[in-house]
Amino acid sequence: MKIFSKEQIYKGDKVTEEQQSLPPSELMERAGLQIFNWMHLRMQGAQVPIHVFCGIGNNGGDGLVLARHLITHGYNVEVYVVNCGNSRSKDFLTSYDKVKDVSKKWPQLLKCETDFPDIHRDDIIVDAIFGIGLNREIESWIKALFNHFKASSAFTLSVDIPSGWFTDKPIEDNEGVVRANYTLSFQSPKLIFFLPETADCTIQWEVIDIGIDRDYLMTTETEYELISKNEVLPMYKPRDKYAHKGDFGHGLIVGGSYGKIGAVHLATRSVLSSGAGLTTAFIPKCGYVPLQTSLPEAMVITDADTNKITAIDFDIKPDAIGIGIGMGKFPDTVSALKAFLKNNKAPLVIDADALNIISENNDLLKLIPENSILTPHPKELERLIGEWSNDFDKLKKASDFSTKYKVLVIIKGANTIIVYGQKKFISVTGNPGMATAGSGDVLTGIITGLLCQKYNPLESALFGVYLHGKAGDLALEEYGYQSLLASHIVDYIGEAYIDLFKQPEQPQQEEVEAENS
């Protein structure tokens, strides 16, 4: 699902109005009506007090349309206009007049703190104060209103985006914003729903279709995209009945050191479980017996050294290599990695200590093959791209890094983000139970396994992150957040594949429209 920028949303409005020859305010009418339908379906006429707070732009106008429908359907509604300026939008004014027609009184005007109404915890707040048009810091009395919402503990439903948040930059005052229970967002979710510093703007979100021009939605390229089953399913490569293991590639995992052989076990097992035909682990001698015993499906090649990697020499021809897991940064290992990168031609997934070594030896970056996949956790990422001031800055720096070195960067986190040049893909699978030792090793293994099976690097990264997250979500059902282990994620990779062909997820809005037209 595409995440449109604020500018693209405004343009979509214009294109739609032209293409569909819409009368003024029609999109606002659709927006308000859809929100009403959403509430009406759930409330079925219940007389819970609903406080609809409207700003003076089009977000406020949406709130007024909603209020009008709630009033005409006999709901217990109070409407307020938060008088935050003088530039009331044209469509707002149209909706303002229409709400008066049905309620026979003007909405209450709020100008300062003494105007705030009492809100009971069992009431409902509709937040239609600021939408995507917020363009500056908010006055303190309006921030006080947001805190009044919070203090009431009432269920807060935000229209389009919780008020006070920008779509494309951080907020300055963490206390001066609405934190919604639910946000109904028009046409596309907002980027801030997925970034660690801003995701608490809303607990849940849903996209509302207001009939924006289908061609515009389909053909407009966005900087951000959500990755879920709908997006990865077309990438899946079915297996031929007469296939043999040679068709699915030979994966190699290079890593391990004394005390860290388990990481290699997890990654190697993940290469096999994601479908590679053959898998070899290159490890120090100390790991030979444990790995051969615990993972009979894998082959093992050992370094000359017992405890660490000192020279990465092998006589196999791997189709993809995952490197760095549990490897350490011993001087011999650093030299071994340098020598390896100079000669290597196979596609790479670079993780953990290999990333740390590279970040401390920047000259190695130019030896990384084009389209290699780097899988840093936040600290490793910082070593690679430098410190960032906020999430937006982090994404910009990661994009610039990805563009400069022609590599894919997977930023691991609650919503893992795959950075491919200037394009960013946000994964929606995964859960906090996966914040556990070895989880990253599994991801590296899965992606290496997909590369072996001739998924291209971008597909391998996207599909790999999806499968990893989905396997974690499925394993969660059995083990719970606390007891989920990385090896459980490996156990569920197969289920994650099978799940691809189970009940489809909610189709994307664009697809529904396409089918109906």
Ligand X SMILES: NC(=O)C1=CN([C@@H]2O[C@H](COP(=O)(O)OP(=O)(O)OC[C@H]3O[C@@H](n4cnc5c(N)ncnc54)[C@H](OP(=O)(O)O)[C@@H]3O)[C@@H](O)[C@H]2O)[C@@H](O)CC1
Per the annotation, binding residues for K(+) are 59, 127, 163
Give whole-number Cα distances, 2 to 184, 293, 345, in Å. 16, 46, 34
Task: Report if residue 87 touches ligand X, rule: CB under 6 A.
Answer: yes
Distance CA 293, CA 312 (A): 23
- To ligand X, the closest distance from the beta carbon of 91 in angstroms equals 7
For residue 434, the minimal CB distance to K ion (Å) is 32
Residue 193 CB, shortest distance to ligand X, in Å, is 14
- Bridge partners of residue 446, in order along the sequence: none
Minimum CB separation of residue 82 from ligand X in Å reads: 9
What is the spatial distance between Cα 231 and Cα 427, in angstroms, rounded to a whole number? 10
Task: Report what 55 binds from ligand X, K ion, none; CB cut-off 5-8 Å by kind.
Answer: ligand X
186 scored as a contact of ligand X (CB under 6 A)? yes
Considering only residues 98 to 157 of the shown chain, the ones binding ligand X according to CB under 6 A are 130-138
What minimum distance in Å lies between the beta carbon of 134 and K ion?
Answer: 9
What does residue 169 show for φ and ψ, rounded to 5 degrees? Answer: -155, 165
User: Does 425 participate in binding ligand X (rule CB under 6 A)?
Assistant: no
Question: Could you tell me the two tokens for 48?
Answer: 């819970």
In 3-state terms the chain splits into helix, strand, coil percentages (rounded to 5) of 45, 15, 40
Nearer to ligand X, 161 or 446 (CB): 161
Distance CA 407, CA 374 (A): 7
Nearer to ligand X among residue 210 and residue 484 (C-beta): 210
For residues 5 and 12, the answer to whether their CB atoms sit within 8 Å is no
Choosing from 3, 57, 191, 286, the residue that interacts with ligand X (CB under 6 A) is 57
58/279 with CB nearer ligand X: 58
Q: How far is the CB of 468 from K ion (least distance, A)?
A: 34
29 binds ligand X (CB under 6 A): no
From the annotation, which residues make up the binding site for (6S)-NADPHX?
58-62, 131-137, 160, 263, 326, 377, 441
Scanning 55-63, 116-124, 357-365, 424-432 for contacts with ligand X by CB under 6 A, the matching segment is 55-63
Helices (H), 153-223: 214-219
How far apart are the C-alpha atoms of 506 and 502, rounded to whole Å?
Answer: 12
3-state secondary structure (DSSP) of residue 140: helix
In this complex, which beta carbon is closest to K ion, that of residue 198 or of residue 257?
A: 198
Instruction: Give yes or no for residue 12 binding ligand X (CB under 6 A).
Output: yes
What are 279's two structure tokens?
Answer: 């898998």
d(CA 336, CA 323): 12
Measured from the CB atom, the residue of 34 and 359 that comes closer to ligand X is 34
Residue 51: helix, strand or coil by DSSP?
Answer: strand
Query: What character string, x for contact with K ion (CB under 5 A) and - otherwise, covers 154-193?
Result: ----xx---x------------------------------
Residue 489, CA atoms < 13 Å, CB-side half-sphere: 35
| Dihedral class, residue 90 (left if φ above 0, else alpha if ψ from -120 to 50, else beta) | alpha
Q: What is the DSSP string of 384-401?
A: HH---SSHHHHHHHHHHH
Tokens standing for residue 401:
């890094």
In whole angstroms, the minimum distance from the beta carbon of 325 to K ion comes to: 45
Under the binding rule (CB under 6 A), the answer on residue 191 touching ligand X is: no
Nearer to K ion, 159 or 320 (CB): 159
State in angstroms the smallest separation of the CB of 128 from K ion.
5
- When asked if residue 202 is in the footprint of K ion (CB under 5 A), the reply is no
Distance between CA 56 and CA 89 in Å, rounded? Answer: 7
Per the listing, tokens 């343009």 go with 11
The entry of ligand X, K ion, none near residue 163 (CB within 5 to 8 angstroms by kind) is K ion
Q: Does 52 bind K ion (CB under 5 A)?
A: no
Q: How many CB atoms lie within 10 A of CB 180?
A: 25
Q: Which does 215 bind (CB under 5 to 8 A by kind): ligand X, K ion, none?
A: none
Interacting residue ranges for K ion, rule: CB under 5 A: 127, 158-159, 163
Q: Which residues bind ligand X (CB under 6 A)?
A: 9, 12-13, 27-28, 31, 55-62, 84-85, 87, 89, 130-138, 159-160, 186-187, 210, 212
